[in-house]
Amino acid sequence: MHTPFIVALDFPSKHDVQQFLRPFSGTPLFVKVGMELYYQEGPAIIAMFKEQGHAVFLDLKLHDIPNTVKQAMKGLARLGVDLVNVHAVGGRRMMEAAIEGLDAGTPSGAARPRCIAVTQLTSTDERMLHEELWISQPLEETVSHYAALAQASGMDGVVCSANEATLIKERCGASFLAVTPGIRFADDSVHDQVRVVTPRKARALGADYIVIGRSITRAVDPLAAYSRLQHEWNGGETE
Ligand code: C5P
């Protein structure tokens, strides 16, 4: 359905976003709106993207009691977003409630936004998992368990590192979506990401969608960087 390239619009204001999007005028993108932008600009920014023909992943990572998540999701579905997410650690009932809310809020005739779960944040390492969160299982097994729980709770997929995509696909099946951030071109700066993967490698590992931010948004020529992404995803080499 949508392009597999989700561009993370981590900008502080509508003005900055509009400036970034100018060269893409006429090209429908799949954009990710996170807390930074959404908490400043609110639902109006979503309406703007939809009017411009872009698909929207609203990345708010909901985590609360089931009823609160259900009511919040009802409102998000009314915005016409295409993809939303929750934290799997909220548990089965909360994830089921998220889907109930999305079903209830989706306008008749429209498709329900898809919903994916965060298993463990990529900023969580083994030490933090054991010492701070007091989860005794290894990180990889925890991720795999949360992915299976998310699937059993009706989620359409998970956000995960591309390095975990193969494991998740083996456990949950090919149609369970793997949406993977931490993408960098081979000659890029890693920034604050720890384990990064190229677009081509992410595809080979089983990613359905890749989330890419600074490699596009901070590129000298964002349009050229986006073309390179398409080229590499399709197996092309870059000199
Ligand atoms: O600029 P960069 O490509 O690192 O941006 C990645 C995007 O994906 C950011 O919006 C970040 O918040 C998000 N993300 C991530 N790791 C996760 C979940 C989301 O990097 N596990």
Q: Is the dihedral of CA 145, 151, 155, 156 positive or negative?
A: positive
Q: CA–CA separation, 158 vs 61, rounded Å?
A: 11
61 classed as catalytic: yes
Residue 205's contacts (CB-CB under 8 Å, 6 or more residues apart) are 162, 163, 165, 166, 180, 197
- Residue from 61, 70, 74, 201 carrying the catalytic annotation: 61
Q: Classify residue 183 by its DSSP letter.
A: B
**Residue whose CA lies nearest to ligand 1 atom number 3:** 213
The encoded tokens of residue 238 equal 């870059």
Residue 192's contacts (CB-CB under 8 Å, 6 or more residues apart) are none
pLDDT tens for the chain, 239 residues long, are 589 999 999 999 999 999 999 999 989 999 999 999 999 999 999 999 999 999 999 999 999 999 999 999 999 999 999 999 999 999 999 999 999 999 999 999 999 999 999 999 888 899 999 999 999 999 999 999 999 999 999 999 999 999 999 999 999 999 999 999 999 999 998 887 777 899 999 999 999 999 999 999 999 999 999 999 999 999 887 75
Q: How far does residue 102's CA lie from ligand 1's centre (Å)?
A: 24
Residue 91's contacts (CB-CB under 8 Å, 6 or more residues apart) are 149
- Domain spans, the chain: 5-233
User: Are 165 and 180 contacting, i.e. CB atoms less than 8 angstroms apart?
Assistant: yes
Query: 5-233 has which CATH code?
Result: 3.20.20.70
Strand 157-159 and strand 30-34: the pairing is: unpaired
Ligand 1 atom, smallest distance to 215 CA = 3
Ranges of H-type helices in 153-198: 162-172
Neighbours of 112 (CB within 10 A): 15
Q: Is the dihedral of CA 83, 89, 92, 98 positive or negative?
A: negative
Q: CA–CA separation, 41 vs 14, rounded Å?
A: 7
**Where does ligand 1 bind, in terms of residues with CB under 6 Å?**
8, 10, 34, 121-122, 159, 181-183, 191, 193, 211-215
One-letter amino acid of 195: R
**Residue whose CA lies nearest to ligand 1 atom number 6:** 213
The whole-number pLDDT of residue 28 equals 96
Q: How far does residue 109's CA lie from ligand 1's centre (Å)?
A: 32
Q: How far does residue 75's CA lie from ligand 1's centre (Å)?
A: 24
Residue 109's contacts (CB-CB under 8 Å, 6 or more residues apart) are none
Instruction: Report the percent of the chain where pLDDT is more than 70.
Output: 99
Ligand 1 atom, smallest distance to 34 CA = 10
pLDDT digits (tens, 9 = 90+) for 199-223: 999 999 999 999 999 999 999 999 9
Mean pLDDT of the chain: 95
Q: How far does residue 8's CA lie from ligand 1's centre (Å)?
A: 7
